[in-house]
Structure 1
């Protein structure tokens, strides 16, 4: 979508608070990958960040997450996340997250990770993103249970990965859920691949539609997967508010480390993030 035709929305006014949304929707069916799937239409926009203000992120919507995290954010990642404009900035209506190869606070790479202050259960979540490229590059657009912490630890709090991507596989993204009994390498996941195209050469819309009994996965409005309670071997932990996270990791168990052919800096470009109920 051309930036001149995007919604002109004041994200602050539409910023959503932490609450459980119980919304009405109608059900239709669609065929994708030979499966009959339920599709919900969520049409009421409740949060949008179009990144139209140059400079820092909108502090009414987002917080920075800083540092290396415990055990590389639990994934053996190699970067130090900062709030520097060298690693994250909004320019000309695009949020730019940049991974750099540099020595910083004991790490060999820097990048950025942000999380919403508000949380919501259920709805449509989508972002228009152009992904980076290279061995060991790991961008993600995902949701984490708002109650994650000392009292409710991961994966009991739940995780919904709307889009994960290995930089060394530029034609394929992955959508997954994590909970007790199906986390990490045992997550319930499905991949989506482009034909004669790559995710690092243009923008694509990654989204989910999430209702109490299913999570549907989309790329550019193509429904490619549905996950229901019947598909997970443990408890369905996707019935409470989640926060949105955007990050660009370097290294880690999912992608491996960068190699001599990995070019830095690498950028993840986010055109918008929108949430509907």
Structure 2
């Protein structure tokens, strides 16, 4: 997505062709340390393997909890407001109104054609509500395997995304912070997702990325799929269901600065309408849901701590 400064509560957006959403200057440098197991009586090799396994999982949310409950606030914060720069139509709401657990191990982000609280958007009275979550104050990390297993919504104007922004976003702004779009889907391309890098000199429509399409005319909304990046110093590789479809390095940037060797935080959101996907039309049905089975981050043992 892309980043801009909203007129009300501040939040962040990014993605291929998205305008920059300027979020508030958040304290974004929360280091996450994984504790090694203690008291093990195994052999040195076994103990070392156990230690590496424990250190590998630095973030995990399986979204277990009672139906209707809000997301874990120790892992996620909710952003609220509209997004004029991308000309999106939704208002991101607080609480569990549009982001709640379903009681079956999923987070459900719901886009609705409604305005229960007279929310005001850049174009007047908001027509839609949805939700956007980030880990800016709870989890930031450099490098590793970052993945989400999700089932995307369906329909013209839908724009789900799983992406990351540099932890220094509040200090340097966008695109100097860097942005890694792990997955974006726009409703008029039901069988295709996009993975993109944005940075100084290659932002917005000039982002560096590639597409991945399902075989046989399948739609991503038909089932769950796992979207991931494997991120190391000077290298990022994208995959869908374990199928790698692009790798980017500083050599791809035409001499522009590589700004991805530092901690980033994660963002999940479901936008409605905007410059890239276009607005919903008579064929679009509501509500629509982005259903998230899990979000996980595993560290590379060779990577330096965030």
Sort the TM-score into its range (normalised by shorter chain). 0.7 to 0.9
- Residue matched to 2:26: none
Matches within 5 A, 1:30-109: 44-54=56-66, 55-69=69-83, 71=84, 74-91=85-102, 92-103=104-115, 104-106=118-120, 107-109=126-128
Q: Secondary structure at the match of 1:19?
A: coil
Q: Which runs of 4+ in 1 moved over 4 A?
A: none
Q: Among 248, 269, 273, which residue is 2:270 paired with? A: 248
- Alpha-carbon RMSD across the aligned residues, in angstroms, is 1.8
- Residue matched to 1:128: 149
For each residue in 1:221-266, what CA deviation from the matched residue of structure 2 results, as whole angstroms up to 9, or x when unmatched? 0111001000013110101111100000001122111111111110
State whether residues 19 and 121 of structure 1, in contact with CA within 8 Å, keep that contact through their aligned partners in structure 2: no
The aligned length equals 238
Give the Cα separation in 1 of the matches to 2:253 and 2:160.
25
- Residue matched to 1:189: 209
Task: Determine which structure has more spread, i.e. the larger CA radius of gyration.
Answer: 2
Matches within 5 A, 1:158-169: 158-169=178-189
State whether residues 143 and 159 of structure 1, in contact with CA within 8 Å, keep that contact through their aligned partners in structure 2: yes
Q: Which runs of 5 or more structure 1 residues have no equivalent in the other structure? A: 1-16, 22-42
State whether residues 32 and 139 of structure 2, in contact with CA within 8 Å, keep that contact through their aligned partners in structure 1: no
State whether residues 20 and 240 of structure 1, in contact with CA within 8 Å, keep that contact through their aligned partners in structure 2: no
State whether residues 18 and 241 of structure 1, in contact with CA within 8 Å, keep that contact through their aligned partners in structure 2: no
Matches within 5 A, 1:223-238: 223-233=244-254, 234-238=256-260
Residues 1:94 and 1:172: Cα distance change in structure 2 (over 3 Å) = same
Give the CA deviation at 1:20.
8.8
- Residue matched to 1:19: 31
For each residue in 1:16-74, what CA deviation from the matched residue of structure 2 results, as whole angstroms up to 9, or x when unmatched? x72399xxxxxxxxxxxxxxxxxxxxx811110000012110011000001114x2xx3
Which structure dedicates a bigger proportion of its chain to strand?
1
Q: Which runs of 5 or more structure 2 residues have no equivalent in the other structure? A: 1-28, 34-54, 121-125, 300-306
